[in-house]
Amino acid sequence: MTPDFAALRRRFPVLERKTYLNSGSYCALADSVRAAINAYMDDRLAVGANWDVWVMKNEAVRAAMAQVLNASADEIAVTASASAGLNALASAFDFTGPRNKVVVSDFEFPTNAQIWHAQERRGAQVVHVPRAADGYIPAEQFARLIDDRTQLVAVTHVCFRNGARLDIPAIVGLARAKGARVLLDTYQAVGGLAVDVKALDVDFAVGGMLKYLLGTAGIGFLYVRDALVRELVPTNSGWFAQEKITAMDITANRPSPTARRFEAGTPAVVNCYAAEAGLNIILEAGPKAIEERVRALTRRCMEGLEAIGWPAVTPRDDARRGPMVAVPSASTAQLFEKLSAQDIVTSFRDNNIRASIHFYNTEDDIDRFVEAMRGHRAQHHAAA
């Protein structure tokens, strides 16, 4: 059944005032997320330290995140950020043997390259898969660099600069053929696309709750495939990563048998409230239905931009696109300001204006954006 997207949209008050195309930076705030944050405040006033409830909130986030990814709760670490999850994972890898290579792509968000470069001091060798002449990175480019020395292929699902979606099944196939593992940075995808870690057959996945997952900053997740959890012992650790959090044993490190071993200290309680409420909206609408809606809206945006003679740099092929459409401009900062003055909220990176689209956007939102772009074309169009 198709969700009632119009009713869902009414739960995001900012959408009455703004054409909000910025979910790839920070989502619109839902009434239920705001209410959840307020519930935490009420709890603090009424009870003070309500630890039993708060610990359960962290578990609720774990369970909801697992459901969104089609994983089990024991495969999810609730982290402070995507970077925190990556660091905990990296700390569990051994780069001193012959398999010391980490393959990343030129589409990575900085953190998913910098953290692997940081492992060079521990023996890692990081190689970057370059773009092809058309700006995309087809799987063949990966085939040249994934080899018997590759321990990990760490790639983004959707590029934060241009909205291009990598061919993850093909990349996973190449990695498997060489005995390498795959980490997927889902941050620009999950919540806007259906990300099924089992169907994609990735070993690890990271992301966070402030964008398409409709929560807040300061909370993220790391998925670790069940079969790998016990063999990976992070040296980034803490008391919330222990088998028994309440043991308070200072004589040894006894990591949890689940992916909780990749956590560290006290959870960000208020963020758990917000994240749970956001994830529940995604689950209520359904990741697959959201993906279909987002695909139709991004396609409309791409076609509209083509019609005004200002095509996006984002791939046209639906299978190669995420929830964001990136439009090249010679003067992104000024264009961003002009759009903001028209109550159209976007963002920009490099030479692209980014319109990031969620299920709560409408055809009218897209048409308003395209029409505004038509008005700015003469002054801000980029010579490609």
Ligand X SMILES: Cc1ncc(COP(=O)(O)O)c(C=O)c1O
Task: Tell whether residue 156 is a contact of ligand X (CB under 6 A).
Answer: yes
Hey, what amino acid is at 191? G
Return the number of the residue (111 or 331) whose C-beta is nearest ligand X. 111
Q: What angle do CA 29, 2, 281 make, to 5 degrees?
A: 25
For residue 84, the number of C-alpha atoms closer than 13 Å in the C-beta half-sphere is: 22
Distance CA 265, CA 260 (A): 11
Please pick, from the candidates 82, 124, 164, 190, the single residue that binds ligand X as defined by CB under 6 A: 82
Task: Tell whether residue 187 is a contact of ligand X (CB under 6 A).
Answer: yes
Give the phi and the psi of residue 136 in degrees, each rounded to 5.
-90, 165
Task: Tell whether residue 160 is a contact of ligand X (CB under 6 A).
Answer: yes
Task: Tell whether residue 208 is a contact of ligand X (CB under 6 A).
Answer: yes
Return the number of the residue (23 or 329) whose C-beta is nearest ligand X. 23
Please pick, from the candidates 23, 188, 298, 352, the single residue that binds ligand X as defined by CB under 6 A: 188
Task: Tell whether residue 111 is a contact of ligand X (CB under 6 A).
Answer: yes
Hey, what amino acid is at 62? R
Return the number of the residue (36 or 80) whose C-beta is nearest ligand X. 80
For residue 375, the number of C-alpha atoms closer than 13 Å in the C-beta half-sphere is: 9
Return the number of the residue (323 or 328) whose C-beta is nearest ligand X. 323
Task: Tell whether residue 314 is a contact of ligand X (CB under 6 A).
Answer: no
Tell me, by CB under 6 A, how many residues bind ligand X: 13
CA dist 143 to 74, 158, 254, 373, 383, Å? Answer: 32, 19, 39, 39, 33
Nearest approach, Cβ of residue 356 and ligand X (Å)? 10
Task: Tell whether residue 323 is a contact of ligand X (CB under 6 A).
Answer: no
Nearest approach, Cβ of residue 363 and ligand X (Å)? 26
Return the number of the residue (5 or 109) whose C-beta is nearest ligand X. 109
Q: What angle do CA 18, 20, 26 make, to 5 degrees?
A: 125
Task: Tell whether residue 215 is a contact of ligand X (CB under 6 A).
Answer: no
Tell me if 12 sits within 8 A of 360, measured CB to CB: yes
Please pick, from the candidates 11, 34, 106, 109, the single residue that binds ligand X as defined by CB under 6 A: 109
Task: Tell whether residue 346 is a contact of ligand X (CB under 6 A).
Answer: no
Task: Tell whether residue 83 is a contact of ligand X (CB under 6 A).
Answer: yes
Return the number of the residue (81 or 105) whose C-beta is nearest ligand X. 81
Beta partners for residue 59, in sequence order: none
Q: H or E segment at 86?
A: helix 82-90
Please pick, from the candidates 220, 278, 304, 323, the single residue that binds ligand X as defined by CB under 6 A: 220
Distance CA 384, CA 379 (A): 14
Q: Please state the separation of Cα 247 from the chain's center in Å.
A: 34
10 Å Cβ neighbour count for 111?
17
Residue numbers of the site for ligand X (CB under 6 A)? 81-83, 109, 111-112, 156, 160, 185, 187-188, 208, 220
